């Protein structure tokens, strides 16, 4: 690896960080503003024009607050947990293709940090690591609400991870590659994978909302029963890191959905990156819309939806795809 | 080719290091900048403003272990599906996929799994209600508690009625009329 290559990699990392750290406060503001309007309120409007700097103000405030480690907490795990939440959520962004190869200053630069041939597995693996952050936070705080929230959260996240993984099998079967760039290129030659894999797309989106612990699947942090769930005891920037992890997770789930099912950077007229961002914003809006619309599920319904509805649906989707490939691919001769 | 692949992981490793550095740095800086006035109340676990009772690390429902075990099984199954899905199709003429052979084989594998899935479904592994005590409505929450005497005359329903009928001092009320949950009486 030459020095220029290393410099390009470092520049990409900086861009990814700026993207993530810029998107999070923006998303916080967008969510509060939109939910406000959904509820006939104005939402934040004091900090900056139309309150757009609200997220940054919140972050700054949390940064300056007192950092409390409860006396009976397990100190090491208590400090480790927010990092275990945030770091994997940021690392997922490394494999997202924001666009194809671009020419910047006469040099061909791919608009993604890395294109490993196991990108889909990498994403799922990092998603699983996120569970550790939640469980360790709940357990190490030595608070009953936190422990309850962590147990719920762990059960929910592992339950929905199964159909989430299985729903990704359908596009993988069709494309025949686990590389996200290959998947987008296949869609360039054929069609968006949401069309042949509509069922898988729906299952993926529902599981994605559950994986990120967002409403209507936000039982781990049900304010009315669990105060805040696994991060009840967290204050100051550690709390902010859990929030950032949640929003970064939302961004990465949406980005994966856009890449795998909605054609990634593909689109007419506008530059590829713009198309990617438009699709990403549309899915993020869907997340907020869902939160403003649906009431929280009851816990046994949540588990039933995951294991008894979505898991069979994901298997049915795989089966239908297999049949379709066998017929269309001419593997069965009648 | 191999070099390019390895370069991918260098890049991802660097991203991981950067994310870790960001997390550690921001935590350390925030801890240095923020005030430090620890008090015993502040350092206690938060239990809605009451004195904390006992330790949080007690027993919890065994159901969660069942979910974890089921997750292991199905995640393992998904792990088998990923490489299979990647080599199912013919990528290149000289690089044929598994084709129909692979489809049938995975069909048999999934069929065996589905039998097990149906079995644990029938055994009630996904029934969360079983392990729980009956829902409040079954015991009769305060709003539904209208006992009927053998003669048919109704006892005074233990409902928070209009304030004029109730004693004005809240401490004189029956305990479950203002706690508002049937479950609180069973504790």
Of B20, B73, B86, give the one whose Cα is nearest residue A119. Answer: B86
As separate numbers, helices (DSSP H) first and strands (DSSP E) second, chain B gives 8, 0
Q: Distance of CA A327 to CAs A151, A166, B99, B100, Å? A: 45, 22, 11, 10
Q: pLDDT of A253-304, one tens digit each? A: 999 999 999 988 888 888 888 999 999 999 999 999 998 888 888 888 888 8
Contacts of B16 in chain A (CB under 8 A): 87, 91
**A183, burial (CB in 10 Å: exposed 0-12, middle 13-18, buried 19+):** buried
Euclidean distance between CA atoms A314 and A168, whole angstroms = 9
Is residue B96, in this structure, part of any structural domain at all?
Answer: yes
User: Given A79, A94, A318, which is nearest B11 (Cβ)?
Assistant: A94
Q: pLDDT of B105-162, one tens digit each? A: 888 999 998 998 898 888 877 777 654 444 444 444 444 444 444 444 444 444 444 4
Q: What is the pTM of this model?
A: 0.82
pLDDT at B172 exceeding the cut of 50 = no
pLDDT of residue A333: 58
Is the backbone peptide bond immediately before A216 cis, with ω within 30 degrees of 0?
yes
Helix-helix angle A180-189:A119-140, to 10 degrees: 130
Question: A310: which 2 tokens?
Answer: 């979505």
* Contact (CB, 8 A) for A235 and A65: yes
Distance of alpha carbon B106 from the chain centroid? 31
Contacts of A238 in chain B (CB under 8 A): 27
Q: Which of A62-76, A222-236, B139-153 has the highest mean pLDDT?
A: A62-76
Helix-helix angle A236-261:A144-175, to 10 degrees: 20
Domain boundaries, chain A: 71-102+113-328
* Contact (CB, 8 A) for A59 and A240: yes
Number of compact structural domains in chain B: 1
What is the number of CB-based contacts under 8 A between chain A and chain B? 214
Contacts of A60 in chain B (CB under 8 A): none
The chain A residue lying nearest B13, using CA atoms, is A91
Distance of alpha carbon A232 from the chain centroid? 22
Helix runs in B34-170, H state only: 40-43, 63-86, 99-122, 128-131, 136-139
Is residue B79, in this structure, part of any structural domain at all?
Answer: yes
Euclidean distance between CA atoms B150 and A16, whole angstroms = 74
Beta-sheet pairing, A101-104 with A107-110: antiparallel
User: Given B37, B67, B132, which is nearest A159 (Cβ)?
Assistant: B67
pLDDT of residue A63: 86
User: Given A12, A143, A175, which is nearest B56 (Cβ)?
Assistant: A143
Is residue B48, in this structure, part of any structural domain at all?
Answer: no
Contacts of A173 in chain B (CB under 8 A): 85, 88-89
Euclidean distance between CA atoms A330 and B156, whole angstroms = 77
> What is the nearest CA distance from B150 to chain A, expressed in angstroms?
37
Euclidean distance between CA atoms A251 and A310, whole angstroms = 22
- The answer to whether the CB atoms of A307 and B128 lie below 8 A apart is no
Owning domain of residue B110: 63-129
> What is the nearest CA distance from A42 to chain B, expressed in angstroms?
30
- The answer to whether the CB atoms of B33 and A331 lie below 8 A apart is no
- The answer to whether the CB atoms of B89 and A16 lie below 8 A apart is no
């Amino acid at each position: 690896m030459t020095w220029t290559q290393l410099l390009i990699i470092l520049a990409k990392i900086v861009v990814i960080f700026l993207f993530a750290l810029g998107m999070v406060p923006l998303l916080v503001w967008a969510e509060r503003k939109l939910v406000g309007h959904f509820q006939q309120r104005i939402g934040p409007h004091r900090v900056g024009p139309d309150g757009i700097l609200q997220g940054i103000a919140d972050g700054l405030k949390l940064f300056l607050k007192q950092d409390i480690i409860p006396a009976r907490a397990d100190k090491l795990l208590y400090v480790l947990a927010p990092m275990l939440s945030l770091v994997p959520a940021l690392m997922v962004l490394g494999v997202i293709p924001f666009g194809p190869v671009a020419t910047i200053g006469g040099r061909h630069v791919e608009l993604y940090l890395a294109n490993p041939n196991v990108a889909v597995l990498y994403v799922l693996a990092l998603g699983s690591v996120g569970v550790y952050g939640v469980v360790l936070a709940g357990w190490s705080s030595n608070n009953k609400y936190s422990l309850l929230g962590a147990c719920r959260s762990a059960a929910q996240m592992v339950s929905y991870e199964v159909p989430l993984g299985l729903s990704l099998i359908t596009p993988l079967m069709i494309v025949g590659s686990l590389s996200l760039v290959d998947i987008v290129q296949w869609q360039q030659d054929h069609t968006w994978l949401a069309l042949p894999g509509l069922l898988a797309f729906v299952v993926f989106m529902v599981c994605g909302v559950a994986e990120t612990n967002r409403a209507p699947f936000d039982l781990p942090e049900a304010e009315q029963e669990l105060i805040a769930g696994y991060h009840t005891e967290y204050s100051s920037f550690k709390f902010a890191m859990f929030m950032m992890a949640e929003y970064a997770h939302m961004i990465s789930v949406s980005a994966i959905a856009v890449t795998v099912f909605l054609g990634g950077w593909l689109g007419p007229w506008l530059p590829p990156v713009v198309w990617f961002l438009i699709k990403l914003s549309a899915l993020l809006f869907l997340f907020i819309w869902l939160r403003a619309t649906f009431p929280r599920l009851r816990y046994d319904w949540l588990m039933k939806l995951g294991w008894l509805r979505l898991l069979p649906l994901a298997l049915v989707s795989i089966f239908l795809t297999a049949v379709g490939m066998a017929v269309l691919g001419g593997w069965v001769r009648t | 080719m191999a070099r390019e692949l390895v370069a991918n992981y260098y890049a991802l490793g660097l991203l991981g290091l950067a994310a870790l550095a960001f997390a550690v740095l921001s935590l350390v800086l925030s801890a240095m900048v923020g005030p430090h006035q620890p008090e015993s109340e502040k350092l206690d676990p938060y239990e809605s403003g009451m004195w904390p009772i006992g330790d949080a690390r007690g027993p919890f429902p065994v159901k969660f272990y069942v979910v974890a075990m089921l997750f292991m099984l199905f995640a393992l199954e998904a792990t088998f599906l990923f490489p299979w899905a990647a080599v199912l199709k013919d990528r290149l003429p000289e690089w044929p996929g598994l084709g129909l052979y692979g489809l049938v084989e995975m069909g048999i594998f999934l069929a065996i799994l589905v039998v097990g899935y149906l079995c644990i479904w029938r055994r009630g592994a996904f029934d969360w209600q079983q392990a729980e005590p009956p829902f409040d409505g079954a015991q009769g929450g305060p709003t539904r508690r209208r006992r009927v005497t053998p003669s048919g005359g109704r006892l005074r329903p233990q409902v928070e009625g209009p304030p004029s009928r109730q004693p004005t001092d809240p401490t004189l009320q029956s305990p479950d009329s203002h706690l508002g949950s049937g479950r609180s009486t069973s504790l």
